[in-house]
């Protein structure tokens, strides 16, 4: 996993909470900073893809390991 500026543990939360928490955290960050998110909701994969397209925040990475989804978003 590459570098990041802030992290968010959204494990155990269901849609739409991982996205809402990520949105709230990103709002406190500076442009170009990277947010690392961990989630366990399988729906979060499509949610983060859509969120990235709608907001302009770049989805740098998404992967799944043992039922946990890992995302890195670059603040627009």
The 3-state DSSP class for residue 70 equals: strand
The residues that are catalytic are: 15
Contact 47, 16 (CB under 8 A): yes
**What topology does CATH give the domain 6-67?**
Translation Initiation Factor IF3 (3.30.110)
Going from N- to C-terminal start, the domains of the chain cover: 6-67
The answer to whether 44 and 9 are in contact (CB under 8 A) is no
pLDDT tens, residue order, the chain (76 aa): 469 999 999 999 999 999 999 999 999 999 999 999 999 999 999 999 999 999 999 999 999 999 999 999 999 9
């Amino acid at each position: 996993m590459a570098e990041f500026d802030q992290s968010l543990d959204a494990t155990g939360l269901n849609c739409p909470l991982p996205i809402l928490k990520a949105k709230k955290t990103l709002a406190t960050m500076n442009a170009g900073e990277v947010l690392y998110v961990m989630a366990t909701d399988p729906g979060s994969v499509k949610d983060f893809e859509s969120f990235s397209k709608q907001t302009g925040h770049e989805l740098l990475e998404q992967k799944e390991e043992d039922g946990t989804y890992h995302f890195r978003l670059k603040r627009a």
